[in-house]
A = this chain, B = another copy of it.
């Protein structure tokens, strides 16, 4: 992913490309593989990576703007912290509760044969499959 794409992500999230936001965006989106994180873990990684530290509030604000723009997804994980996912396509997850680690599963690698009808007046928005792991 090129710098121009980072700027696109920021613009499409109604965010001016400030130093802090570009740093966050590059950290999140300039990578080959999907990245799952909490605000806390992201903050720690940004502190290690970069010289200047970014205020927590800025990280929260930026992550939420990316989420609102559809550049990040929120994933439900047991526990109190909110997890985010740079993979915004329809997909599923392994969850390793030992390490609190999420691993992507391609949507095509799960085939559901039978599913109940949505209740009265409701429609199905999407189906999420979680595969919990043990050792």
CA distance A123 to B82 in the complex (A): 25
Copies in the complex: 2
* Residue A96 CB within 8 A of the other chain: yes
* Residue A48 CB within 8 A of the other chain: no
* Residue A47 CB within 8 A of the other chain: no
In the complex, chain B residues whose CB is within 8 Å of the CB of A129: 112, 127-130
Partner of A110, one of B77, B78, B114, B130: B114
Query: Which residues of A pack against B, CB within 8 Å?
Result: 74, 76-78, 80, 82, 94, 96, 103, 105, 109-116, 118-119, 121-135
In the complex, chain B residues whose CB is within 8 Å of the CB of A118: 94, 131, 133
CA distance A121 to B12 in the complex (A): 41
In the complex, chain B residues whose CB is within 8 Å of the CB of A76: 76-78, 130
